[in-house]
Amino acid sequence: NPTNYVVMDLTEGIDVYRGKKEVTTKLKVSYGEISSSLSEAVDELEISPRVSIKLSEIYAWTIDFFKIQKGDAFKVYYENKYIDDEYIGIGRILASEFIHKNQNFYAFYHEENENFGEHFDEKGRTLRKSFLKAPLDFYRISSRYSTNRKHPVTGRWKGHFGTDYAAPKGTPIMTTANGTIVAASYTKNNGNFVKVKHTGIYTTQYLHMSKIKPGIRKGVYVKQGETIGYVGSTGLATGPHVCYRFWKNGKQVDPYQQDLPPGDPIKEENEADYMIVKDSLMQILLSKEE
C-alpha cells in the first residue's frame, strides 16, 4: 500500500509505529470516442485503465458494453491521487456522461448521510439495480439459459438452466446481490459451488469454481459485488467458466428475461442537497473545456 509505512526506532530498545503518507487529489476531465471498445478508447487517452473498469461498473445496468458501437462517446470527471507528486491511481468518478446510440446516460456521485457513496442519474434514481448483470467483471457468455441444449461433456440433450460465463482460471466471481450463503460445498457435477439466498423471492448459484474464497461458508452474509470464489472447471465442465443459476420463487429462470427491482433512489430528505451537487457537476460535464 503506497500510502502506509512502518518506522522502527532502535534508539532505546525497539519502538515500531505505523505512519500514513499525505495523499493529494487533483481533479481531471477526460473525453473519449469509441472506435472499437471502451478499454481501447481509454488507452488512447493515456489515462488509467481503471477509468474504463469503473465506467463499466457504473453503467453495468444501463449499457451493454458488448454492444457499444463506433461513434459512442464518454466524458468523465474524476479524481487522480498523488503522493509527493507521484501518481498512484484514480479515486472516485464524480460525474460522467456516456453517449450510446445517440442517448445520453449521466451518472453523479453522491454520499447520503448513513450510506456509502454511489451513482445516481439526473433525476436522483440510482444506476444500481438490486442484481448485477453478471457475476464477473469481464467475461464472454459461452452458453445461455436454454430448455434444450446438447451437453458439451455428456453429449446428451437436456435443459441448461443457467448462463455460462467463460473467463480465465482464477478470475474473481462476485455475488450479484446482497444475501446470505445457504451452501458452499462440492458435488460431482457442480464442482466447487456457492449458493446465495437474497430475499424470499430470489436465489443464485455459482458453479465450477477453482476454489471457494476463504471465509465463505453457510450462514455468512455477503454484499453485492463481493468476491465469493474464483473461476475454474471443477465438476462436469470442459473449460474454465462459471455457470450462473438464478431462481425466482423456487423456479430456475433466465436472469436476462427478468424485470429485476431497482436499487433505492435518493431519499426524499436528501433530494435538495443532491440536486445542488448534480447541477454543479452537470455544468462541468457540459463545459467544452477538457
Determine, yes or no, domain membership for 70: yes
CATH number at residue 34: 3.10.450.350
Hey, what's the cell of 222? 455477503
Say if residue 149 is in the same domain as residue 218: yes
Q: How many residues does the chain have?
A: 290
The model's pLDDT over 64-94, given as tens digits with 9 standing for 90+, comes to: 887 888 999 999 999 999 988 889 999 999 9
User: Across residues 141-156, what is the average pLDDT?
Assistant: 50
| DSSP conformation class of 170 | T
Q: How many domains does the chain have?
A: 2
pLDDT at 249 over 50: yes
Q: What is the pLDDT of residue 225?
A: 87
Exposed e or buried b per residue across 243-279, where buried means at least 16 C-beta atoms within 10 angstroms of its C-beta:
bbbbbeeeeeeebeeeebeebeebeeebeeebeebbe
Q: How confident is the model at residue 156 (pLDDT cuts 50, 70, 90)?
A: low
Determine, yes or no, domain membership for 227: yes
Q: Which residues is 178 bridged to in the sheet?
A: none
pTM of the predicted model as reported, rounded to 2 decimal places: 0.64
Determine, yes or no, domain membership for 202: yes
Determine, yes or no, domain membership for 17: no
User: Across residues 245-274, what is the average pLDDT?
Assistant: 88
- The per-residue pLDDT of the chain, averaged, comes to 86
Hey, what's the cell of 188? 460431482
Hey, what's the cell of 212? 471457494
Determine, yes or no, domain membership for 63: yes
CATH number at residue 167: 2.70.70.10
The model's pLDDT over 10-34, given as tens digits with 9 standing for 90+, comes to: 566 566 667 677 889 999 999 999 9
Determine, yes or no, domain membership for 18: no
Angle at the Cα of 21 (from 16 to 25), degrees rounded to 5? 165
Integer Cα distance of 151 and 156 in angstroms: 5
Determine, yes or no, domain membership for 190: yes
Say if residue 251 is in the same domain as residue 144: yes
Say if residue 101 is in the same domain as residue 147: no
Q: What is the pLDDT of residue 160?
A: 64
- Enclosing domain of residue 210: 140-257
